[in-house]
Amino acid sequence: MDNSAQPMSRLPTSNANTAECDAMMKKNWTLLLALPFTVAGCGENSSNSPAVEQLPAFDRLGLLKDISEGVIQPRYASFVERTQALKTVTDSFCQNLTTGSAWATAVTPVQNEWKETMALWQEVEAFQFGPLTDQESILRYDIYTWPVLNACAVDRQVNAMAQNAATYSLSTDDGTKSLSAIEYLLYDDDSLHACKADDTQVQGWNDRTEAARHELRCGYLKLLATDLVTQAETLQNKWNDGSQGYHYQLIAEAGDTDLQTRINVISDSLFFLDATLKDKKLGIPLGIHSSCRTDVCPESIEHPLSQQSLAAVQHNLIGFKAAFEAGFDDYLKAAGGEALATQMQTDIDEAVASAESLADESLLDFINNLDQAACAATTTDDRKVAICALYQDVKVITDELKTEFVEILKLSTPAQSSGDND
- pLDDT for 101-131, tens place per residue? 789 889 999 999 999 999 999 999 998 899 9
Give me the pLDDT at residue 54, please. 83
By mean pLDDT, which of 19-23, 170-174, 222-226 is the weakest?
19-23
Nearest C-alpha neighbor of 310 from the set 204, 245, 389, 371: 389
List the domain boundaries for the chain. 69-242, 271-409
Element (H, E) at 373: helix 372-376
Nearest C-alpha neighbor of 66 from the set 232, 262, 348: 262
Confidence at 10, pLDDT banded by 50, 70, 90: very low
How many Å apart are CA 179 and CA 121, to the nearest integer?
A: 9
Confidence at 281, pLDDT banded by 50, 70, 90: very high
Residue 2 has φ and ψ, to the nearest 5°, of -95, 100
Give me the pLDDT at residue 53, please. 64
| pLDDT cut 90: percent of the chain above it | 78
By mean pLDDT, which of 9-23, 52-66, 137-151, 304-318 is the weakest?
9-23
Give me the pLDDT at residue 29, please. 40
Average pLDDT, the chain: 88
What are the tens digits of pLDDT across the range 194-204? Answer: 999 999 999 99
Q: Taking a C-beta distance cutoff of 8 angstroms, is the pair 333, 302 a contact?
A: no
Is residue 70 scored above 60 in pLDDT?
Answer: yes
How many Å apart are CA 180 and CA 281, to the nearest integer?
A: 15
- CA dist list (Å): 218 to 152, 223, 225: 17, 9, 10
Q: What is the mean pLDDT of residues 247-276?
A: 96
Confidence at 149, pLDDT banded by 50, 70, 90: confident
Give me the pLDDT at residue 422, please. 55
Is residue 42 scored above 50 in pLDDT?
Answer: no
Is residue 167 scored above 80 in pLDDT?
Answer: yes
Radius of gyration, CA atoms only, the chain: 23
- CA dist list (Å): 39 to 374, 412, 413: 50, 15, 17
How many Å apart are CA 183 and CA 177, to the nearest integer?
A: 10
Q: What is the mean pLDDT of residues 85-91?
A: 98
Is residue 420 scored above 90 in pLDDT?
Answer: no
Give me the pLDDT at residue 90, please. 98
Look at phi and psi of residue 171 and say left if phi exceeds 0, alpha if psi is from -120 to 50, else beta.
Answer: beta
Partners of 2 in the beta sheet?
Answer: 289
What are the tens digits of pLDDT across the range 347-394? Answer: 999 999 999 999 999 999 999 999 999 999 999 999 999 999 999 999
Is residue 419 scored above 60 in pLDDT?
Answer: no
What are the tens digits of pLDDT across the range 169-187? Answer: 999 887 899 999 999 999 9
Confidence at 244, pLDDT banded by 50, 70, 90: confident
Higher pLDDT, 8 or 180: 180
Is residue 207 scored above 70 in pLDDT?
Answer: yes
Nearest C-alpha neighbor of 94 from the set 202, 231, 186, 192: 186
Confidence at 220, pLDDT banded by 50, 70, 90: very high
Nearest C-alpha neighbor of 386 from the set 420, 413, 359: 359
